Structure 1
Amino acid sequence: MKRILVIAAIALMSRLADANHVKIIYPRDNQTIASIDSEFVFGNTTPGAVLRINGAKVPVHRGGGFLAFIPVNRGPNSIKAVSIVNGDTAIAEININVGQIADFSASPFIRNSMNPFGRTVLTGSDELEFGVKIKRSGQGYCRFKDTQNWLPLNIIAREQSEENAFGAMAIFSDSISPADCIGYLPMKDIKDSSRIYLLYLDKSDSCFGDPHGLDPTDSSDFFVVKSTPTESRVVTVIERPRVVRLAPAKGYLLVNQPPGVRFAYAGETPDYYRVQLAENYYGYVKKTDSKLSFPNIAKPQGEVSTIIANDFPDRIEISMAFGDKLPFRISEQGDILTVDIYGLRSNVDWIRQNGTQKYIRQIWWTQVQKDIFRLHLRWHSEQFWGYNGRYDNGKFTLVVKKKPKIGAKNRPLDGLRIMLDAGHSKDSGAVGQTGFAEKDANLLIARQLKSILESCGAEVLMTRTGNEDVPLVNRPDTILKENVDLSVSIHNNALPDGINPFKNNGTSAYYYFPQSRPLAEKIHQRMLSATKLPDHGLYYGNLALTRIDNCPAVLIECAFMMIPEQEDKLKSSDFRRTIAIAIADGIGDFVK
């Protein structure tokens, strides 16, 4: 009897294993996505199944993965996948919401959409710029309490099709979703502090278009404060190299500012300090990346009189002593490297080169304005290998790397120190139709690449060797600490909501500094030739792993996890080896 029960149990398990199934991996159930008119859906089912999503037939890949790009409507949507194999039907159904759900019953303004959202400090000569979402069927206005002049909120126009770096995205143009607006208010209208007063006029209002003399409809929960110009304070970078932004949460103005760099405080928002770099030149530093001094601290400034360039086996160092840790910006164009140092004045009488003439053809300086000093360096070739700025022993030092010694023609990687970064972990990154995680694909490729590079004579280091948790913020620190010759970060791609994955996929390469572009180009060319995948582009990419300045550093998106054929290829050791060989060959092409 026991034997019969065991046989029956095995038979039942076999039938369950063979049973049809269907699973939607993305979108997630109850997810809210942007106001778009189409969305991709992917997941897995039984290979050989006949699959329909919302009634439309969808091909099933031999591995069981599927991908569809379906129309969606504004508001709630149901996505139903029905899979049939030999009369066995499996169903998966999810619900999503397209577009922001806005409740205007209490106010025509979405208060928590205000940006900045919290106490903001600016000077009397500044202008407050803020964003807010409003009901679309009317016009919004804003003012401070100390003035009766209502200023219009400017609606940010949206086209029916928006193009971003990854492809075109069709969006709804309707009257239901909130309108994104920007307001501008001069700080001279504040006596000391004020809330932002808001007024809304619907198109049906008799006074529409004439806000004069009307009372506010709403106001901000926070105050905008006019700072005291006589109170001198300083913002200092802490812990690790940081960035300075053009505006809160906007693009980068300065990168890789070392700990201890000081800025003149010029105001704040809830999350950022506003800092003054020079006259009429401002930026924003995250509060979590810096600390604010007590009042009446000396303003960051300095004066330089002597510049000295020294030769070392692997680098050139150009040093200046000026008594403070001032913000700076390094840029390159062709064979010229320039360093702008903010708050610095020139009293330069001497520029000394100690054996650097072979590498530095010329050094000179200019005073761009009274508080911006610019150092110019003409290099011996148009290819820089790496550079960064640092403060130590009371000096600012610009470090320019020499090109490392390259091996024989048939072994150009011999002796190079290369860092490989397998992207993600512990987060999974992108996920394919069958649940294959990007972090695992990245690591498998990196391991094969490591073996190939080592066979070519390179010394290879890795930011992670297994599934250990390595936070993104720590990875650039590791690369800088190891002072490697090259850095390659390995990833596999996915798309933002609303972009057609059948038209936008393939392999791509990313760089940030001009010195890294040739490496990205060489690897990208090899990847296209070897993998036969579509060309998804060569990108300037503002990414943590491309903002490495002391060596050429690139990020490679090898393939797309969400494309069934490409996910299936990534599961193959042979295809991963093809990728690894292509990256290694691209590195070899670059260093020759």
Structure 2
Amino acid sequence: MPNLIEKLLILVAAVAVMSAPAGAVPPKISVVYPHLGDTLTTVDSTFILGSVTPGATLWINGSRTAVHEEGGFIAFLPVFPGAFNFELMAIIGSDTSVQVWPIYIRPHLEFSYDSLTIIKSQPGLTLGLRKGEILSVEFMGTPGCIASFSLPGIADSVPMAEILPVANSSRANSAFGTLAANSPKRFGGHYQGYMEVPETVLDDSLPVMFHLRAPTLAELVEILKKRPVENIDFAMLNLLRYESAAKSDSSGTFVRFNPSEYPSMVEFKDSVQTIRIGPGKGYITIFQPRGVLAQATGYEGDWLKLRLSPSEIGWVNKGSVRFLEKSRPPVISYPKTVRTTASDTDVTVIVPLAARHPFRIVEEDNKTLTIDLFGVNTDTDWIRYDSEDKLIRIITWRQVEPELFRLTIRTNHSIWGYDADYEGNIFRLKLRKPPKNVRKVKNLVIVIDPGHAADPGAVGPAGLKESEANLAIASALRDKLSAKGAEVIMTRDDMSHVPLYERPSIAKRYGADLFVSIHNNALPDGLNPFVNNGVSTYYYHPHSIGLARNIQRELRAATGLKDFGTYHGNLAVARPTQYPAVLVETAFIILPEQEALLKNPEFQKK
């Protein structure tokens, strides 16, 4: 029925256009998002936004769509997998315009039982693994089959298990949506397997081969008996037509066992190196300085595996390190002393070491900081405190395990910020003293960062660029703070381009006491903007959460908009440790009503 209605509306529009009097100007239609021909992720509904001539009536795919007085619109509509058209019709009086807006919706991955299919997960990947480590592989394929993998000359047939799907929430929905669970693909087809790396030295790369075999009747009965009712698909019986038929294919993944160039010492080349929990995954520790040494034990594609301690590993990108001589042994440091030195603005904790070691700093609570030094064993007899220091209450140490030395610093005041670095091989942690009066902004150095610039950020239905709205709000905030005696630094005060990672550098250069980045929000595809919108504030380090919560509370009260939440967010401008830093999303620029508010100077001052 909806398709019939759409066709009738388009037919009516076409007749209206043909019968319009000469000189009539049809209403304009401008689509801002999605872009023409975009490929969207797998969703069953999504939004379209743009503008029409003010005063027009708008229909999209047969649904009446509200139009703001300035012409902006946004609609959240059902979509279907594959090639999909939004069909827009705008009417003013007897004047009508029609626009067809094609996009592509990525379909769900589905398998038939008419053939055996293998879809590779990570083609082109090469792994270097050592004895005792685990080689894990996976692929998607026809459900209900018998799967295995092999390494020619090493392992003939390693069984793989089929992992049944469960309902879960997409990443975007879990963070920014309603947490509603998505319906899973019911019948599986996700196969996983593993093997322990043997002692065999395999310097040449071997391909991992995948194998899929149709089950026998007895095997299929056992497969169906073990499945929950909701995961049973009796169409699997079609597999019996191919009983014992098999398919093999290269996974595209190659492996080397116990490669001769590992283990090897490496030196960090970047000044802000990050060590991750897995290739391309979350952080173990950030801001590792140039010259830090670590032992590489293997690799996965472009990622190196590091041995941090007997029980901890980390990963760094190969391009961020320099390989040292193969004969270079790991350096173990045995610090004898820890001491502190105080100044008017900070207290520095000093640990002399024999080399630059990886470190990890964790804020356990608002008055407790731990420092993990990897590759370090205790020989610590002395901790010397600066008598003028009133910030640090006590420092304790313990050996967590061999090559993992932990300092715990407890303070008398809440942590304001800190900076860790090496001077030669001396580890230095500089703890900032809080401002004398944290409840007033007078004399504070506050860095305001209007987000985006050359990159416009999100764009509103009527064409307002986020970069422009951010600058207007930041300028109004600058004027208010300056009037109260703050020293305000803007990362930009016009539309000049400022690279993302230059913005925290500006704050550090000026000795920022606070950092606030101004943004305006949009949503990922598939989320309903009429439900999911409002003001939100983001922090990264725990010492910034108080600022984030206070700003969020004031934003809600001042704007009257909904509460979209306070978030821990892994955002580049929020990651620096030297000061409390937050990013605020003051409104949703993709909603016509809020886009109009963002143009209003009175709203900008709130």
TM range (shorter): 0.7 to 0.9
Counterpart for residue 21 of structure 1? 28
Query: What are the superposed Cα offsets for residues 526-579 of structure 1, whole Å, 9 maximum, x if unpaired?
Result: 00000001100011111111111111011111111111111111111211111x
Query: What are the superposed Cα offsets for residues 223-258 of structure 1, whole Å, 9 maximum, x if unpaired?
Result: 211234784412322232121111112111111212
Instruction: Determine which of 62, 72, 77 is the counterpart of 2:69.
Output: 62
Query: What are the superposed Cα offsets for residues 249-288 of structure 1, whole Å, 9 maximum, x if unpaired?
Result: 2111111212222221021122211111111211111233
Instruction: Determine which of 109, 115, 119 is the counterpart of 1:110.
Output: 119
Instruction: Determine which of 208, 224, 231 is the counterpart of 1:196.
Output: 208
- 1:511–1:57 Cα change, 3 Å: same
AA aligned opposite 2:276: R
SS at match of 1:452: helix
AA aligned opposite 1:151: P
Q: How does 1:27-426 map to 2 (within 5 A)?
A: 27-100=34-107, 108-111=117-120, 113-114=121-122, 117-135=124-142, 140-145=147-152, 146-152=154-160, 154-155=162-163, 157-159=165-167, 162=170, 163-168=173-178, 171=182, 173-174=184-185, 182-188=192-198, 191-192=201-202, 193-202=205-214, 217-228=248-259, 231-334=262-365, 335-381=367-413, 383-406=414-437, 412-426=440-454
Counterpart for residue 9 of structure 2? none
Partners of 1:244 and 1:353 lie apart in 2 by: 31
Partners of 2:579 and 2:335 lie apart in 1 by: 28
Report the TM-score, using the length of structure 2 for normalisation: 0.85
AA aligned opposite 1:148: D
1:213 is displaced (CA, Å) by 11
Query: 1:136–1:175: 8 Å Cα contact kept in structure 2?
Result: no
Structure 2 portions without partners, runs of 5+: 1-22, 224-241
SS at match of 2:122: strand
1:161 is displaced (CA, Å) by 5.3
AA aligned opposite 2:547: L
Partners of 1:147 and 1:212 lie apart in 2 by: 25
- 1:230–1:55 Cα change, 3 Å: closer
Query: 2:263–2:298: 8 Å Cα contact kept in structure 1?
Result: no
- 1:291–1:567 Cα change, 3 Å: farther
Counterpart for residue 587 of structure 1? none
1:220 is displaced (CA, Å) by 2.9
Partners of 2:472 and 2:95 lie apart in 1 by: 36
1:311 is displaced (CA, Å) by 0.6
1:474 is displaced (CA, Å) by 2.7
- 1:64–1:260 Cα change, 3 Å: same
Query: 2:148–2:157: 8 Å Cα contact kept in structure 1?
Result: no
SS at match of 1:317: strand
Partners of 2:243 and 2:90 lie apart in 1 by: 62
1:40 is displaced (CA, Å) by 1.1
Query: What are the superposed Cα offsets for residues 108-131 of structure 1, whole Å, 9 maximum, x if unpaired?
Result: 3334x417x422112121112345
Counterpart for residue 570 of structure 1? 598
Partners of 2:38 and 2:143 lie apart in 1 by: 24
Query: 2:216–2:243: 8 Å Cα contact kept in structure 1?
Result: no
AA aligned opposite 2:402: K
AA aligned opposite 2:377: R
- 1:428–1:54 Cα change, 3 Å: same
- 1:41–1:139 Cα change, 3 Å: farther
Query: 1:23–1:92: 8 Å Cα contact kept in structure 2?
Result: no
- 1:549–1:126 Cα change, 3 Å: same
AA aligned opposite 1:22: I
Query: What are the superposed Cα offsets for residues 310-338 of structure 1, whole Å, 9 maximum, x if unpaired?
Result: 11110000101112111111112232211
- 1:40–1:231 Cα change, 3 Å: closer
Counterpart for residue 11 of structure 1? none
Partners of 1:55 and 1:316 lie apart in 2 by: 66
Partners of 2:585 and 2:504 lie apart in 1 by: 18
SS at match of 1:249: coil
1:471 is displaced (CA, Å) by 2.2
Partners of 1:553 and 1:182 lie apart in 2 by: 42
Query: 2:165–2:184: 8 Å Cα contact kept in structure 1?
Result: no
Query: 1:510–1:539: 8 Å Cα contact kept in structure 2?
Result: yes
1:139 is displaced (CA, Å) by 5.8
Partners of 1:316 and 1:107 lie apart in 2 by: 66
Partners of 2:190 and 2:493 lie apart in 1 by: 45
AA aligned opposite 1:122: L
1:371 is displaced (CA, Å) by 0.8
1:475 is displaced (CA, Å) by 2.4
SS at match of 1:491: strand
- 1:161–1:87 Cα change, 3 Å: farther
1:462 is displaced (CA, Å) by 2.1
Query: 2:160–2:191: 8 Å Cα contact kept in structure 1?
Result: no
1:194 is displaced (CA, Å) by 2.2
Partners of 1:257 and 1:69 lie apart in 2 by: 44
Partners of 1:212 and 1:184 lie apart in 2 by: 26
AA aligned opposite 1:197: M
Query: 2:122–2:252: 8 Å Cα contact kept in structure 1?
Result: no
Query: 1:81–1:92: 8 Å Cα contact kept in structure 2?
Result: yes
1:343 is displaced (CA, Å) by 0.7
SS at match of 1:149: strand
Identify which range, 191-200 or 511-520, moves more after superposition.
191-200
- 1:223–1:28 Cα change, 3 Å: same
Partners of 1:479 and 1:300 lie apart in 2 by: 35
1:494 is displaced (CA, Å) by 1.0
SS at match of 2:551: helix
Partners of 1:212 and 1:397 lie apart in 2 by: 67
SS at match of 1:295: coil
Counterpart for residue 470 of structure 1? 498
Counterpart for residue 590 of structure 1? none
- 1:161–1:384 Cα change, 3 Å: closer
Counterpart for residue 489 of structure 1? 517
Query: What are the superposed Cα offsets for residues 135-156 of structure 1, whole Å, 9 maximum, x if unpaired?
Result: 5675643233311233215547
AA aligned opposite 2:311: N
Partners of 1:333 and 1:413 lie apart in 2 by: 27
Counterpart for residue 553 of structure 1? 581
The CA RMSD measured in Å over matched residues stands at 2.9
1:205 is displaced (CA, Å) by 9.3
1:57 is displaced (CA, Å) by 0.6
Query: 2:200–2:258: 8 Å Cα contact kept in structure 1?
Result: no
Partners of 1:434 and 1:502 lie apart in 2 by: 17
Query: 2:116–2:212: 8 Å Cα contact kept in structure 1?
Result: no
Identify which range, 165-174 or 524-533, moves more after superposition.
165-174
SS at match of 2:336: strand
1:31 is displaced (CA, Å) by 1.9
- 1:253–1:161 Cα change, 3 Å: closer
